[in-house]
Chains A and B, each alone.
Chain A
Amino acid sequence: MERSSEVMEMGTELGKYKTCVSARSTNKEILKKSQDGGIVTQLFAYALEEGIIDGAIVAGQSDEPYRPRPFIATTVEELMTSRGTRYNISPNVSFIKEATRSYGLDKVGIVGTPCQMQAVRKGQLYPFGWRDVDSKIALAVGIFCMENFPYQSIKQLVEDHAGVKMESVKKMDIGKGKFWVYTERGAVVQLPLKVTHKYEQPGCHVCLDYVANLADVSTGSVGSPDGWSTVFVRTTNGDNIWAKAIAAGCFETKPIDQVKPGLELVSKLANEKITKNQKTVEERAKFGVNKALRNPYIKP
């Protein structure tokens, strides 16, 4: 009995979900350049091939290295160019109406951070300007997120703190309490996360969602071994698609309670984020002298 109440408590910071597993793609090409288990790329690739979606809004490449821009991938080849994480802002939601209009998509896939999943769901229930979008969102994949950075912040961290040219970076990663920069030549530079904090995007500090509670399927490295990702399957829609992808052999999976560090770490980090940001929200209420900063969770 004690155990079930623990599970209930754990449920709130992790959002509603139907299943949680540790997983990785079975496609070697995807894994070559994926951040962790290649979940997002693999799931969209499967959904594209099966006609579950006819395009996906992803963080594509731009003129500057590691500066993403929203990109609509309508083929697996296009999707493959967007593998991996770039730790700065890609306003993917800005393409949500464009995808259904200029691109004529009827079944849209979108990947985004927890706040972007919140934006998508708000836009489905309150479509002020998102004409004919609500029923066309066919697969929303969320990624775990502690905070995000403006592009200039990442540039400052990589070039100034880590002393690496942006052009030379092979991969960036946040994990095990550090910010990692890997270069094409094989060098590895690590920065303590403490250094990165001041560069964070301020808007992230009122966010109360770590594991993309409102996505159909959400995923991130935390909780799973290296090269694997933790996956929460949340909605009925997400459950249907995930089950088909598993049946098609897209993913290897392991029960989440049989991997290290497991859900406990996800819960711990989720609680840390929510507690810290809840405190920020409260402090904003008495920021000035009898003057508050605005609280979006109370009113517009």
Chain B
Amino acid sequence: MAEKITVGHVHMSGCTGCLVSLADNAEGLLTILDKYADLVYGLTLADVRHIPKMDVALVEGSVCIQDKLSVQEIKETREKAAVVVAVGGCACYGNITRFGRGGQPNQPQHESFLPIGDLIKVDVYIPGCAPCPQLIRNVCVMAYLLLKGTKEQQELATKYLTPLMQLAERGTEACGCDLMIDVINQGLCMGCGSCAAACPVRAITHEYGKPNVNREMCIKCGACYAQCPRSFFNFDVITEFEGIMELIDGALK
């Protein structure tokens, strides 16, 4: 067994749903911690007060810029982690915290919540509210292969993670409108239904084969656009689905 990678869970302003989603891998999480990753930082899970040096930081939640500690910690995360992963809609796009406007959160003056990408460079995005346990698992396995695997495994991990890195480059705003703007308006929608299945709040229905987004319900998590096969479709990875799913299953046995 090659040495493990070091991973931390950094909690900004979020609901802990992403952490629960990670934990929902059940035995899979134990296998990950047993074989591939040491958890070096994480509220309630690791008895460490300050952000340590680590290979991969899984960041959940957005940053409240009126909270000095949060701002300091997200910057520190960037300094200490080789790879920063924005886990979930809040870290990627603000998500539900986009709707914070003062007077409601912990302290009355807490009103501005930014996706972490507005303050630091982010390497990998995992959109969704919460992102599925299986996707967090896949990214963990691929991150391990990228840092500790054979040359072949590194190539596969790079190919797998590339679209998630491109999502990070794409920007810090997401909305159900992305389906309209970047898919339908671009002449790319073929009405498969992926977006509606991905929406955590059932804001998407299909009218005559095209998604219809209820924008009052949309929480701006970014799952629909990321899930769309016409947002990205990397043939070199997805056509190998049988082998990759076996690889991940095998890694977690």
Contact = CB atoms under 8 A, between A and B. Distances in A.
A60 to B, nearest CB: 13
Nearest to A15: B239
Contacts of B143: none
Interface string B1-43: 0000000000000000000010000000000000000000000
Interface stretch (A75-83, A93-101, A253-261): A93-101
Interface centre among A112, A151, A202, A213, by most chain B C-beta atoms within 10 angstroms, is A202
A81 to B, nearest CB: 20
Contact of B242 (A112, A235, A293): A235
Interface residues of B, number: 58
Contacts of B229: 115, 118-119, 122, 296
A207 to B, nearest CB: 7
Contacts of A96: 193-194, 197
Contacts of B232: 296, 299-300
Interface in A200-221: 201-208, 213-214
B132 A129 contact: yes
Given A125-B138, A296-B229, A203 B242 contact: no
A103 interface: no
Given A129-B227, A297-B233, A152 B208 contact: yes
B197 A97 contact: yes
A203 B134 contact: no
A88 interface: yes
A132 interface: yes
Q: Max chain B CB contacts within 10 Å: which of A116, A118, A204, A214?
A: A118
A91 interface: yes
Given A128-B126, A148-B191, A121 B241 contact: yes
Central interface residue in A126, A134, A207, A208, by most chain B CB within 10 Å: A126
B196 A91 contact: yes
Nearest to B241: A121
Nearest to A145: B190
Contact of B190 (A151, A203, A208, A299): A203
Contacts of B131: 128-129
**What are the 9 A-B residue pairs with the smallest beta carbon separation, nearest first?**
A89-B209, A94-B193, A129-B198, A91-B193, A203-B190, A129-B223, A94-B196, A93-B193, A89-B191
Interface of A: 16, 70, 88-98, 112-113, 115-116, 118-119, 121-134, 148, 150-152, 201-208, 213-214, 235-236, 284, 293-294, 296-297, 299-300
30 contacts: A16-B239, A91-B206, A94-B195, A94-B196, A96-B193, A118-B192, A121-B238, A125-B138, A125-B160, A126-B163, A127-B132, A127-B135, A127-B138, A128-B198, A129-B131, A129-B132, A129-B197, A148-B190, A151-B208, A152-B208, A201-B191, A201-B209, A202-B188, A205-B187, A206-B187, A235-B242, A293-B186, A296-B233, A299-B170, A300-B232
